[in-house]
């Protein structure tokens, strides 16, 4: 284990990450979006570029986040793992890079910073994306 995080639970990571993506034009957002047996911690849609993002939040277990992120590439154009900055050191950045998954670090003051950019998913399925964009834009998501 690395240094102790200021974040006691995953949900505390949500606010800074949601704010970060709002700044990046992903103004339609939904938390805990079900994807089969999983729940995408944050799913977002940008009208500006017609792109979607899925974010998996984790305090420590980046491998588990990676397993989920790989699956979310089926339903989002870009997928990120977001972790407290103190946990980032343990992450296998090369593995994430190989699979096009982005990484965000959340500082103790709640500021979110991109460590690794995400690549456009090559396996995103239009049917999933359409369903989720509809959910977000037809009243079940938040528009900011």
Partner 1 sequence: MVDPKVIIRMGSHAEKDYIEKTARYLDGIIVAANLFEATQGATASLLGKKLNKPYYIDPMTYAYGRNLDLIKSPQGKTGKSDFKRSYKELGDKLSLPFTSALQKNSRLTPKDFEDSLKVEESCKAVIEYQLNRIKESFDEDPEYKEYAAEIPNPEAIYAPYFYIEPDSPSAWLDLVLLLAKVSAGLEYKVPIHAIICTDEVMLEHNNFLSKIKKELPKTGVEGVWFWLSDFDELTSDVKRLKAFRSLVEDVSGEMEVYSLHGGYFSLSLCKYGLSGISHGVGYGEKKSVVPVQGAATPTVRYHLPDFHKRMGVPAIQRCFDGLKIKTPDDFHKKICDCVVCKGVVSKELSEFSLFGSMAYSTPISKRLAQTPAAAKRCRFHFLMNRIRERDELKKLDLAGILAKFESVEKKWSEQISVKNDMTHIRTWREALA
Residue 71 sits in the site that holds partner 1 (CB under 8 A) = yes
Residue 70 sits in the site that holds partner 1 (CB under 8 A) = yes
Q: CA-CA distance, 2 to 133, in Å (whole number)?
A: 38
Contacts 24+ apart (CB under 8 A), 89-94: 89/2, 90/2, 90/60, 90/62, 91/62, 92/62
Query: Smaller CB distance to partner 1: residue 60 or 128?
Result: 128
Residue 60 sits in the site that holds partner 1 (CB under 8 A) = no
Residue 138 sits in the site that holds partner 1 (CB under 8 A) = no
Residue 123 sits in the site that holds partner 1 (CB under 8 A) = yes
Q: What is the DSSP letter of 121?
A: P
The residues of the shown chain that bind partner 1, judged by CB under 8 A, are 34-38, 67, 70-71, 73-74, 99, 122-123, 125, 127-128
């Amino acid at each position: 284990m690395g240094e102790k995080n200021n974040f006691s639970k995953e949900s505390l990571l949500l606010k800074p990450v949601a704010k970060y993506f709002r700044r990046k034009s992903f103004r339609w957002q939904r938390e805990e979006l079900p994807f089969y047996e999983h729940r995408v911690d944050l799913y977002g849609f940008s009208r500006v570029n017609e792109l979607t993002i899925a974010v998996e939040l984790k305090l420590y277990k980046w491998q588990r986040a990676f397993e989920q992120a790989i699956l979310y590439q089926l339903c989002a154009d870009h997928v990120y793992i977001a972790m407290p900055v103190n946990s980032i050191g343990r992450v296998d950045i090369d593995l994430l890079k190989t699979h096009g998954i982005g990484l965000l670090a959340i500082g103790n003051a709640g500021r979110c910073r991109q460590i690794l950019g995400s690549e456009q998913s090559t396996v995103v399925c239009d049917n999933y994306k359409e369903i989720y964009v509809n959910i977000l834009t037809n009243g079940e998501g938040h528009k900011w």
